[in-house]
Amino acid sequence: MKNLVFLPLFLLCAMAAAQNLNLIPQPVEVRAMTGNYTLSKTTAVSYNETGAKEVAEMLAAKLSAPTGLTIKAQQGKSAAIQLTLNATADAEIGSEGYKLEVNAKGIALRANHPAGLFYGMQTLLQLLPNEVERTKPAQAAWVIPAVQITDYPRFGWRGLMLDVSRNFFTKEEVKTFIDLMARWKFNTLHWHLTDDNGWRIEIKSLPRLTEIGACRVPRMGHFGERADPQPGEAATDCGFYTHEDIREIIAYAAARNVTILPEIDVPGHSMAAIAAYPDLSTRKDPNTRVNPGTHFSEWYGNGTFKMLVENTLNPADEKVYEFLDKVFTEVAMLFPNPYIHVGGDECYKGYWQQDEGCQALMKKLGIRHVEDLQGYFMGRVEKILQSKGKKMIGWDEILEGGISPTAAVMSWRGVKGGIEAAHLGHEVVMTPTTFCYLDYYQGERTIEPPLYAGLRLQKTYSFEPVPDGVDPKFILGGQGNLWTEQIPTLRYAEYMTFPRAWALAEVYWSPKAKKDWPDFVGRVEAQFARADAMGMNYSKAIYDPIIQTAWKQDQLWLEMDAEARGLDLFYTLDDTMPDDHAARYTQPVELPEGPITLRVQSYRDGRPIGHLITLKLEELKRRGGR
């Protein structure tokens, strides 16, 4: 009878303890055990094969800095922390999985490949106090709870995209971004290297791409509202990566089990290339400049647009394909990733429509619609890539006009393109704007920097990469995209990326059945403290009230909520500042007539948390649809 009573209680305690570990992403299986292991001056890290040496040395260095202990990495089996590459593969955990056991005697981490050891190390570090993230000795109880973990990823492609064209990030900043990716088990950096606003990769056979294409006139202010380059104005805002820089970054990423996918965006988004080599375009305008963020296009409500400056390569000019052959020769030589991303999105065809050469090519090919020229262009590009031993991947527009079965598709305009591609037998990376665009504002839009769309953490966490009716074998995984028009610094890139990247890390790694929003929010808040120890920036928008209104029989009602739990929302309507003695929101509120101003402040445990939100009556009415 005692055993029958004890077993359920033990399991309940173990489950509760496992939930309190605050791991992101959530492992496949976690069993909390009794006891713990404490790091000491005798602690060392051992490894059984040379393939595990690099991870062992990383772990020893990571533990030594904050603890003040001299923890060595050594080959053998005598240390308290043992990293083991399995002699016989464990089919359950695959190539990136691991098994981790912590008890009073020590720590055992096993994997089939070094990548698994690396990801197991990330989990182990999250089991330690937050002070482990510091780079200098810190005071902490260096205790690791006893636990048994079996873990492996749901998807093989777990990516983040970093746009370095709109704003350039230095080599060291890219490395820091890679470090942050690896900490939460992302394994693919999609590097957006070229666009209208800067060409960022050295092509030795085409030196003007970086001599001219990597520089623009300096401008401040909101992207899309900046002044045009003036005649004779010097282009002094420059930045690009040399071949040596790229090799160094690739090696740095590889040591952290991150592969880099380079993107050369064609045939649209090519203004920087055209500024360097005007003959690549139809108009061949020698006055084309690298764009510093001006109003160069008109967008219409139905998703169509018009370019005011030509930014598209000429599909009818054979010199364009000679140019691309040179570019992709060097890109393929540098990057070991089997794929090269070729963009293919938002290609404006108005200049093609007006060009005699494009019209003659259409006649030759028997093409009636100018839109079909992009299919021809992408087919030529794919053949170039194949000649370099690479496979093509592009945004979902590359489906328009036909691509070979070996090409992969990134579905960004919702999931529709990904569904279509999967049904056609293409491999797909799901990265729809509605869940994965990390440049969208993430909190109350009246206090966030102005952008055209928002994306809250809960919406990101709700993402399911495998749509109903799609064979999962075609879904490689997904990624979050960080376009940097409004992101001038790495510090702000961190703010925009996290915590939404933590949500995507869990979506791409953890089992679908383990998704639990309330539990996830608690773990996010625990990660905030860890990020503080790292000195990393992040958004606290989960603490800001979500303010909505609704009209009910010509009367406006106020409705409020928040993503974080355990908050009190105090508000005023009488032009006073709210504190914890103001009215507390508990249910929808009928707003009075008159020129009111709503002010809301969230509190937790008697202390203000999050931003003060102030909304005038006109804004409140708009949110209700009037």
Which of helix, strand or coil describes residue 601?
A: strand
Q: Partners of 194 in the beta sheet? A: 199
Return the closest-CA partner of residue 116 out of 137, 81, 89, 139: 89
Q: Which amino acid is at 460?
A: T
Name the catalytic one among 96, 195, 202, 427. Answer: 195
Q: Which H or E run includes 590?
A: strand 589-590
Q: Taking a C-beta distance cutoff of 8 angstroms, is the pair 60, 72 a contact?
A: yes
Q: DSSP letters of 510-547?
A: S-GGG--HHHHHHHHHHHHHHHHHHT-----GGGS-EE
Residues 71 and 40: beta-carbon distance below 8 Å? no
3-state secondary structure (DSSP) of residue 470:
coil
Q: Which position among 179, 248, 346, 568 bears the catalytic label?
A: 346
Catalytic residue among 113, 190, 192, 269: 269
- Give CA–CA dist 328/320, Å, rounded: 12
Distance CA 621, CA 626 (A): 5
Q: Is residue 101 flagged as an active site residue?
A: no
Distance between CA atoms of 119 and 125, rounded to whole angstroms? 10
Helix (H) or strand (E) holding 320: helix 318-334
HSE (side-chain half, CA atoms, 13 Å) at 383: 7
Angle of helix 490-497 relative to helix 171-183, nearest 10 degrees? 20
Furthest C-alpha separation in the chain: 90
Q: Which two tokens stand for residue 361?
A: 């090519």
d(CA 238, CA 215): 4
Question: Residue 46: enclosing H or E segment and its boundaries?
Answer: strand 45-47
Which pair of tokens denotes residue 464? 């399911």
Residue of 523, 525, 505, 522 whose CA lies nearest to 151: 505
**Closest by Cα among 242, 238, 236 to 171:** 242
Question: Contact at 8 Å (CB) between 186 and 502?
Answer: no
Pairing of strands 408-411, 428-430: parallel
User: What is the Cα Rg of the chain in Å?
Assistant: 27
Which stretches of 152-255 are assigned E, i.e. beta strand? 157-163, 188-192, 194-195, 198-199, 215-216, 237-238
192 included as an active-site residue: no
Q: Is 29 a catalytic residue?
A: no
The set of catalytic residues is 195, 269, 346
